[in-house]
Structure 1
Amino acid sequence: MDSFAANSKKSFHIRSNSLPSKAHPVVDEVNENLCRLRASEEATSSSSSLCQKLDGLQDLQDSIDKLLLLPLTHQALVDNKSVDELLEGSLKILDVCALAKDVLSQMKESAHELESALRRKRRDQILVDVQKYMNSRKLMKKAIHKVLKRMVTTSSQRGDENSEINSLLKGAEVITFSAIESLLCFIAEPKLPSKMSRWSLVSKLMQTKRVASKEEEANENEVEMVDVALHSITNQKCDFFVQVEDVRNSLRKLESCIHDFEEDLESLYRRLIKNRVSFLNILNY
């Protein structure tokens, strides 16, 4: 009986050693945040969905912060042949995030200047300032599209992901690029045609005048609505001062949208800086 018990104990011990080791809770947390963000990539880009993505990125960077404190991460990074690529990637993310912040700041300034012009009630001056805003938008779109082309090349580059830690950090980099890319596309698009049909224009304006459903509000592009309202002024399709009021209403929504984006981006930017510093400290240890 004693011999049987001893053999059973030995057998159990051997089997337990063969079981896969359980992932660290922080590793699981990073994976969960990545999965949530990847699941949201297919969602229609709206200001509300983009804010949710930016909030999700903040949660992801908080979990990355915890990951960088683990001894297993220190060892993985020290032994990682792709560490230079990860460092370069973190710097590029900071640059793109800073660019998005600058774009939003410029948009806010332009929107504020236009809103001030609309209060003057002088038709000739309003038309001048509307054209100034539209010209500024064209230059901004052109600059954003150049950045987006570079981002496609950068985000498609993949390094050695044999290490789980390396895979998580690279995954965080790619998903962050993707979310900021969606934000920049939201700002740069849509490209309004030089000649919109009268029916298309009236349809757009009617949508802004009636009470929208919650679903329609959730999918609304505040940048587009300002562009459409301004386009109607330059084509003088309706009563001028009615159009001015449409623009003012659209600008108020846009400024609120920009405010939310700026707050989320600033919080994300601070987390990205903190994690890059932690990353560099590990390598200099």
Structure 2
Amino acid sequence: MACHLRSASTPSSPRSSNTQVEQQLQILSATVSSPSATINTMCHGLKRLADIYSCIQNMMCTPSSQASLCHTLQRAAVEAELGRSLVVLDLCNAMQDSFMELKMTVQELLLALKRGGDASAQVKAYARLAKKAQKQFKKISKKTASDKNDSRVVMLLAEAREITISLLESTSSVLSKQIEMPKWSLVSKTSQKSKAPCEEEQLQALEHSIGDLESRVGLLYRRLIQNRVSLLNALSS
């Protein structure tokens, strides 16, 4: 399901490549907005999104796209997309920082669980970090609105950017629901002790999943950088 990238990376025609990328963006958008989305869904979605950016990268390198992107009428649209892409890069960096903090909080929660104590402080810290990450998106949405333009590549980049923001926001939302009061707040030495092994496994799985998300966002960040370089090269050609 990963964009059929082998065929998309060496398309028979620019039009077929456009269609494939559009279809994959639509599928990914529907997946991200699903109420049943999980952390695994987000991990898979981030990988697919990075693959889509690779497809767009290949499209940008074709002679026809290069000619279109460097055309005088398209320069404003390309420059605007370059500016908006910086906002998304900043968002990826913020998410990476959030992942690191969340992993540390999960580790502290694991330690509290093993000691058989009250873990409410760690639960509150996790919830606070998750909400902090979600606040980023209210600021971002106003900065990334785009206008219609004639370059299909730029339009695809704009669509991919919007889905990137939506996917990261959904990821943040899913993570915020992983640890909630009062489920994890009272890890006592007596009544909850029998549940500790199961809860430890859940927390270890969550820590591993956050690490996977961190890796996927790192890959996505690199693809975004590559796309920016291609746009800059097109403007300078």
Q: Is TM (by shorter chain) over 0.5?
A: yes
Alignment of 1:134-173 (within 5 A): 134-155=123-144, 157-173=145-161
TM-score (norm 1): 0.69
Q: How far off is 1:23 after superposition? A: 4.3
Structure 2 match to 1:48: 40
Q: Is the 8 A contact 1:55 1:264 kept in 2?
A: yes
User: Amino acid of the residue matched to residue 82 of structure 2?
Assistant: L
Structure 2 match to 1:86: 81
Q: Is the 8 A contact 1:54 1:179 kept in 2?
A: yes
Give, in whole Å, the separation in 2 of the partners of 1:228 and 1:101.
Answer: 27
Structure 2 match to 1:200: none
Give, in whole Å, the separation in 2 of the partners of 1:113 and 1:270.
Answer: 30
Structure 1 match to 2:166: 178
Give, in whole Å, the separation in 2 of the partners of 1:45 and 1:177.
Answer: 16
Structure 1 match to 2:97: 102
Give, in whole Å, the separation in 1 of the partners of 2:184 and 2:40.
Answer: 23
Cα 1:145–1:239 change in 2 (3 A) is same
Look up the SS of the partner of 2:37 in the other structure: coil
Structure 2 match to 1:7: none
Q: Is the 8 A contact 2:42 2:167 kept in 1?
A: yes
Cα 1:48–1:227 change in 2 (3 A) is farther
Give, in whole Å, the separation in 2 of the partners of 1:187 and 1:142.
Answer: 10
Q: How far off is 1:151 after superposition? A: 2.9
Give, in whole Å, the separation in 2 of the partners of 1:118 and 1:42.
Answer: 33
State how many pairs are aligned. 221
Give, in whole Å, the separation in 2 of the partners of 1:41 and 1:134.
Answer: 26
Give, in whole Å, the separation in 2 of the partners of 1:33 and 1:231.
Answer: 41
Cα 1:228–1:68 change in 2 (3 A) is farther
Structure 2 match to 1:274: 226
User: Amino acid of the residue matched to residue 182 of structure 1?
Assistant: S
Structure 2 match to 1:19: none
Structure 1 match to 2:3: none
Look up the SS of the partner of 2:150 in the other structure: coil
User: Amino acid of the residue matched to residue 30 of structure 2?
Assistant: A
Q: How far off is 1:60 after superposition? A: 0.5
Give, in whole Å, the separation in 2 of the partners of 1:246 and 1:231.
Answer: 15
- Residue ranges of structure 1 left out of the alignment (5+ in a row): 1-21, 191-222
TM-score (norm 2): 0.81
- Residue ranges of structure 2 left out of the alignment (5+ in a row): 1-12
User: Amino acid of the residue matched to residue 137 of structure 1?
Assistant: Y
Give, in whole Å, the separation in 2 of the partners of 1:182 and 1:151.
Answer: 14
Structure 2 match to 1:77: 69
Structure 2 match to 1:248: 200
What root-mean-square deviation, in Å, do the aligned CA atoms of Structure 1 and Structure 2 show? 2.5
CA offsets 1:205-248 (integer angstroms, 9 cap, x no match): xxxxxxxxxxxxxxxxxx23x65531343xx6x70323433431
Alignment of 1:195-206 (within 5 A): none
Structure 1 match to 2:113: 118
Q: Is the 8 A contact 2:22 2:156 kept in 1?
A: yes
Share of identical aligned residues, percent? 25
Give, in whole Å, the separation in 2 of the partners of 1:163 and 1:276.
Answer: 16
Look up the SS of the partner of 1:230 in the other structure: coil
